[in-house]
């Protein structure tokens, strides 16, 4: 990366956030609540927001868009290469999925492909307003981050929480062993799902690290509550639960 500043976008159904970066520090940040907006109006609302805040006039070297949704599946590269694209998406997302909304990211080091859906208007927005921007699913950034980590513990994971769903990805021996996305209503839902999945993988008694991050959320409190509750319940005493509020910033160089 050169000395010019960069743009990082965090996008989900409910929020649109922008960070203007210099090296590994944030110069400015903006956020827009989309939770009560009709889908057909979101693009126009975002464009107006970008103009009003002067974001569309910013100079940048790289622009990275992290799209977060539950609709993502991790498959081996050889399965992706040897399968019919449409049938593979239909198998994972149902017959009614929109071909225009389908996309994928490759991870050559892992030999995997992330299949996901993303509204076409989001892709067209960035292609026209921020030429050269790279669009990936947020879980691809977490995979890149964990791939680059060299840890001596048995496993290293990321718990990334949005307004309505979460990603829980765990690596062991430099390979993903858990790739979970689920919706939630209460904090307890998240704790149940991650503890159940860790129990199935025999990780509750293993020494490990889980970095907890709130992706594009309006409130920034749930990660502290989750870590405190897990520790109080003694669910995984050998696991070090660490809040990382700069996970997307840390992942930026690994994705552009």
Query: What residue ranges do the domains of the chain occupy?
Result: 70-116, 141-252
pLDDT of residue 122: 97
Distance, in Å, from the CA atom of 11 to the CA atom of 31, rounded to the nearest integer, reads: 10
pLDDT of residue 163: 87
Distance, in Å, from the CA atom of 31 to the CA atom of 16, rounded to the nearest integer, reads: 6
C-alpha closest to that of 98 among 120, 114, 71 = 120
Query: Which residues lie closer than 8 Å to 169 by C-beta, 6 or more apart?
Result: 139, 142, 143, 146, 157, 158, 160, 176, 178, 179, 180
The pTM of this model reads 0.93
CATH number of the 141-252 domain:
3.30.420.260
pLDDT, averaged per 10 consecutive residues of the chain (256 residues), comes to 81 94 90 92 97 97 96 94 88 88 95 96 96 97 92 89 94 94 94 97 95 79 92 94 92 93
pLDDT of residue 219: 56
């Amino acid at each position: 990366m050169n000395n010019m500043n960069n743009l990082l976008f965090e996008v989900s159904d409910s929020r649109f956030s922008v960070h203007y970066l210099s090296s590994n520090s944030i110069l400015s940040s903006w956020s827009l609540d989309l939770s009560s907006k009709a889908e057909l109006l979101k693009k126009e609302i975002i464009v107006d927001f970008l103009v009003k805040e002067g974001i569309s006039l910013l100079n940048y070297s790289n622009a990275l868009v992290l799209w977060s949704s539950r609709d993502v599946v991790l498959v081996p590269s050889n399965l992706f290469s040897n399968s019919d694209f449409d049938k593979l998406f239909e198998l994972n997302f149902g017959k009614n999925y929109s071909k225009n909304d389908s996309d994928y990211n490759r991870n050559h080091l892992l030999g995997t492909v992330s299949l996901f859906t993303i509204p076409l208007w989001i892709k067209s927005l960035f292609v026209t307003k921020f030429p050269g921007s790279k669009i990936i699913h947020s879980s691809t950034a977490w995979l890149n981050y964990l791939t680059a980590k060299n840890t001596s513990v048995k496993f290293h994971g990321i718990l990334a929480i949005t307004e309505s769903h979460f990603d829980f990805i765990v690596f062991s021996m430099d390979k993903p062993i858990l790739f979970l996305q689920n919706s939630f209503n209460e904090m307890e839902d998240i704790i149940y799902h991650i503890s159940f999945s860790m129990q199935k993988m025999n990780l509750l008694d293993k020494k490990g690290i889980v970095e907890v991050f709130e992706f594009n959320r309006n409130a920034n409190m749930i990660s502290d509550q989750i870590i405190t509750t897990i520790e109080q319940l003694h669910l995984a005493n050998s696991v070090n639960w660490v809040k990382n509020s700069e996970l997307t910033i840390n992942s930026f160089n690994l994705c552009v």
